A and B are shown apart, each in its own frame.
Chain A
Amino acid sequence: DAKTTQPNSMESNEEEPVHLPCNHSTISGTDYIHWYRQLPSQGPEYVIHGLTSNVNNRMASLAIAEDRKSSTLILHRATLRDAAVYYCILIVRAQKLVFGQGTRLTINP
Chain B
Amino acid sequence: ETGVTQSPTHLIKTRGQQVTLRCSSQSGHNTVSWYQQALGQGPQFIFQYYREEENGRGNFPPRFSGLQFPNYSSELNVNALELDDSALYLCASSPLGPGINLNTQYFGPGTRLTVL
Hey, which bits of chain A sit against chain B, CB under 8 A?
30-32, 34, 41-46, 49, 85, 87, 91-102
Hey, which bits of chain B sit against chain A, CB under 8 A?
4, 33, 35, 41-45, 48, 55-56, 58, 90, 92, 94, 96, 98-110
Chain A residues, CB < 8 A from B98: 93-95
B55 to A94, Cβ gap below 8 A? no
Bound Cα distance A35, B54 (Å): 26
Q: A96-B45, A96-B56, A97-B45 in contact; A43/B101 too (CB < 8 A)?
A: no
Q: DSSP majority for the B interface?
A: loop
Chain A residues, CB < 8 A from B43: 44, 97, 99
Bound Cα distance A41, B39 (Å): 11
Q: A42-B109, A43-B107, A43-B109 in contact; A94/B45 too (CB < 8 A)?
A: no
Q: A43-B90, A46-B106, A94-B96 in contact; A101/B41 too (CB < 8 A)?
A: yes
Which listed residue, A32, A43, A98, A101, touches B92 by the CB 8 Å rule?
A: A43
Bound Cα distance A11, B69 (Å): 44
A87 to B42, Cβ gap below 8 A? yes
- Of chain A, the residue at the smallest CB distance from B45 is A96
List 10 additional contacts besides A44-B43, A93-B99; criterion CB under 8 Å: A31-B101, A34-B104, A41-B109, A94-B103, A95-B48, A95-B98, A96-B45, A96-B48, A99-B43, A99-B44
A93 to B101, Cβ gap below 8 A? yes
